[in-house]
Structure 1
Amino acid sequence: MKKYLLLSLILILGYASKAQTPNNYQPFSFDFYQKLNRQVYDVNSRFHSSFKSYYQDDSLLKSAVDSFYNYGTDTLKRSWVHRKLFNEHLLEIKKEDYTFYADFLPDFQIGYDRARSSNIWTNTRGYQFGGTIGSKFSFYTSGYENQAKFPQYIQNFVNANGIIPSQVNDKFGPGRDIKDWAYATAILSYTPIKYVNITLGQDKNFIGDGYRSVLLSDVAANYPFFKLTGTLGNVKYMSMWAQFQDLKSPQFSYDNGYRKKWGVFHYLDWNVTNRLSLGFFDSVIWQDADSTGKRGFDLSYVNPLIFLRPVEGQNGSPDNALIGFSVKYELFKNLAVYGQVAIDEFTIKEVFAGNGYWANKFAYQIGIKGFDAFKIKSLNYLLEYNTARPYTYSQRNSLLNYGHYNQPLAHLYGANFKEFVTICNYAYKRIDLMGKLNLAKYGLDGTNDNYGKDIFKSYNTRNSNYGNYTAQGIGTTLTFLEGKIGYLINPNYNLRLEIGGVIRSEKNTVFNNNTGIISLGIRSTFRNLYTDF
């Protein structure tokens, strides 16, 4: 009853309050987030940088976002074709009580993959539309119809996992050389008062300041969620409830579709000073049903303020609980250091024993990022180290693990890995340059082995209780070097001409896979699609 009274009070206050600027949702790519570093990591402000997606009309970001969207506009009279091609949404309406925009989103690429000794291509036709209603409500949706002939390493991933990386399932399975898939996103955002936002979505979320996240990332496919976000002074707090799908577990029937599981997430970000921010995270994953019956959504996890671990214990500890911490410190006016720790499970006496106990499961991240490097305006950079011990994020079965749609909810590599990644990008007028280097070491499984990298395997099938170490198993090294040059055609939906190249090497004692890839295309949208594995 108290929850309903609180919600009613929020709604009443929302209608009674003065007009607020709606939190106008717009998905941004990592490259675009880098363009906002000067505003986000300003030592004279206290921006909650670890919450993503950002809202484009946040007061701190608005001028930077607007300057990007309005780049190239001037007072000269331009033709309708010129304006639509270079400066405006395809369809745009701005009224006093509502706004609306719509765009066609192409992603047409051609290229060559040396490993396949053949051409590769992508044919994506997409759309987006969004807008605001009144001063408190905004909406956004996008959809994509796709066909592609992938590079060999991505083709192998799709055939093995049945999904397109960071997207959805392959419609026709591993028997076809050309892959076909479609997916959509949708967001409804309501801000009754300036302190509270309510979001209903089919999309992704990201927590952290880095390129990767060991807490919650946007690697996996879209999922439905309901999110409450509150801001009061220097504290920002998020509660989110989400439903995920497990493609590994056998379906009960065709009518029931893929097996479901639920997740609840809490994250509090506290700006202690202008330079220092601390974050506190917890989550619980539980399965929707098993062969004995349907559990469904557990009302024990409804309260947005409660600590999740005691509730999980009160339920008999059948679920998968994860806790984590984050920190950010703006060391100089143009450089910030950041880090995260995720604790899945551990035993104190085993941690200090140093004997490689399997259940000491944790991951961490440390990195630095900055802008205007070497006093060159708009030269942004990031250096980051990530690692996760074997069996981190895994559980008794895949219906309880920290994954969704055959990909992790945290780091792209799952567990049992070490990774260093550095990214540099530079923008000058309509020209964008990006370079990225990934160096990783991880342990793969042999036949009938489980060394802890694949989080979808049950940890009950582990090879050993003791003597475990990071990158155990078939020791594999990955080198992934990527570069892109883009020319921005229309900033409103990131339409650009882009040429890119990849040099990739993955090798161990079993195989040595090397390739070089070059591609050229006309691309749009701000999506994050991860292929650096």
Structure 2
Amino acid sequence: MKKLFTPILLLVLFSTVASAQSEYQPYSYQFYQKLNPDIYNTQSRAHTSLKPFFIDDSLVKQHYDALMGLGVDSGKHSWAHRKLFNEHLFDVREKDYTFFADYLPDLMIGKDFSGSKNTWLNTRGYQAGGTIGGKFYFYTSGFENQAVYPEYLNTYINQVGQVPGQGYDRSSGKNTKDWSYVTALISYTPVKYLNITLGQDKTFIGDGYRSMLLSDVAAPYPFFKLTGKLGNVQYMAMWAYMDDPLAPKFNSFGDDRRKWGVFHYLDWNVSNRFSVGFFDAVIWAAADDQGHSRGFDFQYVNPIIFLRPVEAQSGSGDNALIAMTSKYKISNGITVYGQFLLDEFISKEFFSSDGSSRNKYSWQLGVRGGDMFGIKSLSYLFETNNTKPYTYSERSEIINYSEQGEPLAHPWGANFREFVGLLNYSYKRFDFSGEVDYGHYGLDLTDGSGNTINYGKDIFQVYIDPAREFGNYTGQGLTTNMIYLEGKVAYLLNPKYNLRIELGGIIRDEKNAQFHDKTALFTIGLRSSFRNLYTDLASYKTH
């Protein structure tokens, strides 16, 4: 991998300054949905599927700047007032460079009334970023965390060993969880048609709340990414290095296994209203199950989309997936979107109705928009996500579609059906949001000898040993239904780093033949940063 990165780094260090840099905005659904009136406008051809955005489109930049200056006034105020309500903690803007930095608190207390349990979160974080000349942008954020979670999240963390989407739990199963979360990147834009990014972070592909292709539900990972734009076409090629703590170890030190991934995504805006995208991914192990090192496979340096997945389907031992996305803007306030991912294709079984365990695919269909019912800043999203049993799993645990113990696509893994609706409304510095989520899925069962029967939800189980070869259906196994309701009211203190006072409530009911989990959680806190932290999770395993 060093051979690949060294020429790029030299290019970055010795290039001259010319075109304007691309400003990076960390991805969070809550913030990005505020841009709906611009990016989903029928007069715009903005590329919307690949996130995070670089805020360089003139129309988006104007709205973005307005959001970053929300409620900021030009009156004379004390230093403390300006830093609390209007400005970055440090903000330097010179002709040849800029720099900003902020302290990011995330402090929250709560009560789970269903379990009479007190919860809390104590996070101390930072963010820093800036530009050098007209081509370079850099950004980093870091968080040190301790928390006591409601029981359903506590169970998830104990089973997976990871705090959802953030990092390894250092508490070793204790009630108080302890973890770190760090992102960092450097971005170089030599010409307006190309961006080169090296760092550790996440990538989200899609126009929905979830992604069946590549999501932000797992922890950040090191990556090298090329993103090009030419006319109405945007193309991304990304190489990533990932960790798998759940795969069987092959040495006495108990070190986590490593794997590589290559991801390609092409987004074509056919017209102002219609776009279509094409995606592929290949995951391969850095070393086989006997510990023989493979390292980075340089045949995957080739950036041509669909080349390697086609070869992989014809006999390669690596994990290959292909997919397509699409969206259509019916009007300025209504956009329909969808995704279809194919993990394995055998035509005879795919087009039959025999429920083969090798029919591995996912699909999404949704509608979203802004200014609902003519009400300014009222955004909505409604979507359904469906994944067949055994999708994203593989013949070997190490090359399943995951990063650091969590899925790279939908957080529920496979063998599920989901319906989710989101509403968001902003009025001056107030934000109101609500979510309704219904899930239907099947967990694995154990036989009389205590062996796990693989019904296809847990992507970390190898799919070559399914519960049955034919007759599979979504929700098989320990059939489970979940209802998740969440509401939040926030008052924005400082838009520069999303500092806000937030009240929240969660009602969650998960039920099957073996257990019935209920959560009724109320929280209040001082929060900040732009991140997606998912709490609408389904059980991954039986209790």
Q: TM-score, normalised to structure 1's length?
A: 0.96
Write the distance in 2 (CA, Å) between the matches of 1:499 and 1:225. 35
Q: Tell me which residue corresponds to 1:276.
A: 274
Q: Tell me which residue corresponds to 2:526.
A: 522
Q: 1:390 to 1:49 in 2, by over 3 A?
A: same
Is the 1:14–1:192 Cα contact (8 Å) retained in structure 2? no
Write the distance in 1 (CA, Å) between the matches of 2:328 and 2:406. 31
| Partner SS, residue 83 of structure 1 | helix
Q: Tell me which residue corresponds to 1:186.
A: 184
Residue correspondence of structure 1 range 95-106 to structure 2 within 5 A? 95-106=94-105
Q: Tell me which residue corresponds to 2:541.
A: none
| Partner SS, residue 36 of structure 1 | helix
| Paired letter, 2:213 | L
Cα deviation 1:406-441 (Å, max 9, x = unaligned) = 110000110000000000000000000000000010
Write the distance in 2 (CA, Å) between the matches of 1:119 and 1:281. 44
Q: Tell me which residue corresponds to 2:247.
A: 249
Cα deviation 1:203-224 (Å, max 9, x = unaligned) = 0000000000000000001000
Q: 1:295 to 1:119 in 2, by over 3 A?
A: same
Is the 1:25–1:187 Cα contact (8 Å) retained in structure 2? no
Q: CA deviation at 1:317?
A: 0.8
Residue correspondence of structure 1 range 431-442 to structure 2 within 5 A? 431-442=430-441
Q: CA deviation at 1:345?
A: 0.4
Matched, 1:168 2:159: no
Q: Tell me which residue corresponds to 2:57.
A: 58
Q: 1:396 to 1:105 in 2, by over 3 A?
A: same
Q: 1:511 to 1:83 in 2, by over 3 A?
A: same
Q: CA deviation at 1:45?
A: 1.2
Is the 1:384–1:422 Cα contact (8 Å) retained in structure 2? yes
Q: CA deviation at 1:310?
A: 5.6
Cα deviation 1:269-328 (Å, max 9, x = unaligned) = 000000000000011000110215101110111011253336743994110000000001
Is the 1:26–1:140 Cα contact (8 Å) retained in structure 2? no
Q: Tell me which residue corresponds to 1:126.
A: 125
Aligned length: 528
Is the 1:387–1:418 Cα contact (8 Å) retained in structure 2? yes
Cα deviation 1:95-118 (Å, max 9, x = unaligned) = 000000000000000000123312
Q: Tell me which residue corresponds to 1:208.
A: 206
| Paired letter, 1:56 | I
Any runs of at least 4 consecutive aligned residues in structure 1 with deviations exceeding 6 A, and if so which? Answer: 7-18
Cα deviation 1:368-390 (Å, max 9, x = unaligned) = 00110111000000000000000
Residue correspondence of structure 1 range 140-155 to structure 2 within 5 A? 140-155=139-154
Q: 1:390 to 1:8 in 2, by over 3 A?
A: closer
Write the distance in 1 (CA, Å) between the matches of 2:151 and 2:55. 37
| Paired letter, 1:335 | I
| Partner SS, residue 168 of structure 2 | coil
Write the distance in 2 (CA, Å) between the matches of 1:150 and 1:526. 21
Q: CA deviation at 1:256?
A: 7.8
| Paired letter, 2:496 | N
Q: Tell me which residue corresponds to 2:415.
A: 416
Q: Tell me which residue corresponds to 2:449.
A: none
Write the distance in 2 (CA, Å) between the matches of 1:374 and 1:523. 30
Give the alignment partner of residue 197 of structure 1, picking from 186, 195, 198.
195
| Partner SS, residue 301 of structure 1 | helix
Write the distance in 1 (CA, Å) between the matches of 2:311 and 2:105. 45
Q: 1:93 to 1:296 in 2, by over 3 A?
A: same
Is the 1:301–1:308 Cα contact (8 Å) retained in structure 2? no
Matched, 1:324 2:323: yes
Is the 1:108–1:123 Cα contact (8 Å) retained in structure 2? yes
Write the distance in 2 (CA, Å) between the matches of 1:62 and 1:339. 26
Q: 1:292 to 1:148 in 2, by over 3 A?
A: closer
Q: Tell me which residue corresponds to 2:482.
A: 478
Write the distance in 1 (CA, Å) between the matches of 2:9 and 2:221. 27
Write the distance in 2 (CA, Å) between the matches of 1:152 and 1:16. 53
Q: Tell me which residue corresponds to 1:512.
A: 516
Residue correspondence of structure 1 range 81-480 to structure 2 within 5 A? 81-174=80-173, 176-253=174-251, 257-290=255-288, 291-309=290-308, 312-313=311-312, 316-447=315-446, 448-480=452-484
Q: CA deviation at 1:9?
A: 12
Is the 2:17–2:134 Cα contact (8 Å) retained in structure 1? no
Is the 2:46–2:57 Cα contact (8 Å) retained in structure 1? no
Q: CA deviation at 1:8?
A: 8.5
Cα deviation 1:75-108 (Å, max 9, x = unaligned) = 3212111110001000000000000000000000
Q: CA deviation at 1:11?
A: 9.5
Q: 1:306 to 1:62 in 2, by over 3 A?
A: closer
- Greater Cα offset, 488-497 or 300-309: 300-309
Write the distance in 2 (CA, Å) between the matches of 1:309 and 1:87. 49
| Paired letter, 1:490 | N
Is the 1:14–1:191 Cα contact (8 Å) retained in structure 2? no
Q: 1:24 to 1:255 in 2, by over 3 A?
A: farther
Is the 1:300–1:311 Cα contact (8 Å) retained in structure 2? no
Computed over aligned residues only, the root mean square deviation of the Cα atoms, in angstroms, reads: 2.1
| Partner SS, residue 163 of structure 2 | coil
| Partner SS, residue 100 of structure 1 | strand
Is the 2:275–2:327 Cα contact (8 Å) retained in structure 1? yes
Is the 2:309–2:322 Cα contact (8 Å) retained in structure 1? no
Write the distance in 2 (CA, Å) between the matches of 1:26 and 1:75. 24
Cα deviation 1:238-257 (Å, max 9, x = unaligned) = 00000111111233447683
Write the distance in 1 (CA, Å) between the matches of 2:13 and 2:222. 25
| Paired letter, 2:97 | Y
| Partner SS, residue 493 of structure 1 | coil
Q: CA deviation at 1:148?
A: 0.3
Q: 1:446 to 1:216 in 2, by over 3 A?
A: same
Write the distance in 1 (CA, Å) between the matches of 2:182 and 2:57. 25
| Paired letter, 1:501 | G
Matched, 1:487 2:480: no
Q: CA deviation at 1:20?
A: 2.0
| Partner SS, residue 37 of structure 2 | helix
Q: Which runs of 5+ in 2 are unaligned?
A: 447-451, 538-543
| Partner SS, residue 460 of structure 1 | coil
Write the distance in 1 (CA, Å) between the matches of 2:374 and 2:13. 45
Q: 1:75 to 1:168 in 2, by over 3 A?
A: closer
Is the 1:241–1:263 Cα contact (8 Å) retained in structure 2? yes
Cα deviation 1:501-523 (Å, max 9, x = unaligned) = 00000001111111100000000
Q: CA deviation at 1:41?
A: 0.4
| Partner SS, residue 294 of structure 1 | coil
- Greater Cα offset, 57-66 or 365-374: 57-66
